[in-house]
Amino acid sequence: MISLDHIDLTILNILQLNSKANIKEIALKVGLTQTPTYERIKRLEKLGVIEKYVAIIDKTKIGFTIEVFCQVTLQVHSKKLIIKFENAVLKIDEVMECFHVAGNYDYLLKVIVKDMKSYQLFLKNKLSVLDSVSNVQSTFVLSATKSTGVLNIT
């Protein structure tokens, strides 16, 4: 685990809420000058604490109306099939997130598509055709009560 002080944590909180915040603005909020603030941010990036900066898009405003959680069961639990499945999933654009899980199924995928027809084609032509897949259960999101990318680190 990487050791972070209060100023580092404050910088991370500021950037989580607004990744476009400029150095001057951040420096004012943490009580440092711009140079040490900039150096801290660069250190956090270099250490991999800050992985990347992204814009969060309202998917419905650009026509992506279906969000699905797919519970995937593999045929066999072998290292070879696991690696093969994971490599294949990395190449599927509709899969936003993929988690290897313990429980009644092996993987949980978060899938976003434009409409039901798109999901049918995704399932038929991309996911179910993978050699390692034995079963897929789909759970369709009706609405999101909470959706955040902000990690409470204080």
Based on the fold, state whether residues 64 and 24 are members of the same structural domain. Answer: no
Tokens standing for 56?
A: 């969060």
Based on the fold, state whether residues 14 and 37 are members of the same structural domain. Answer: yes
Note whether residue 51 is domain-resident.
no
Q: What is the pLDDT along the chain (154 residues), one digit of tens a residue?
A: 899 999 999 999 999 999 999 999 999 999 999 999 999 999 999 999 999 999 999 999 999 999 999 999 999 989 999 999 999 999 999 999 999 999 999 999 999 999 999 999 999 999 999 989 999 999 999 999 999 989 999 7
- What integer pLDDT is reported at residue 72 of this predicted model? 98
Name the CA radius of gyration of the chain, rounded: 20
CATH no. for residue 98?
3.30.70.920
Based on the fold, state whether residues 35 and 98 are members of the same structural domain. Answer: no
3-state secondary structure of 48: coil
- What integer pLDDT is reported at residue 132 of this predicted model? 92
- What integer pLDDT is reported at residue 136 of this predicted model? 97
> How many other C-beta atoms can be found within 10 angstroms of the C-beta atom of residue 69?
15
Q: Are 22 and 54 in contact (CB under 8 A)?
A: no
Q: Domain span at residue 20? A: 6-46
- What integer pLDDT is reported at residue 1 of this predicted model? 87
Based on the fold, state whether residues 70 and 29 are members of the same structural domain. Answer: no
CATH no. for residue 11?
1.10.10.10
Based on the fold, state whether residues 99 and 72 are members of the same structural domain. Answer: yes
Alpha-carbon dihedral sign for residues 134, 132, 141, 66: negative
Based on the fold, state whether residues 66 and 42 are members of the same structural domain. Answer: no
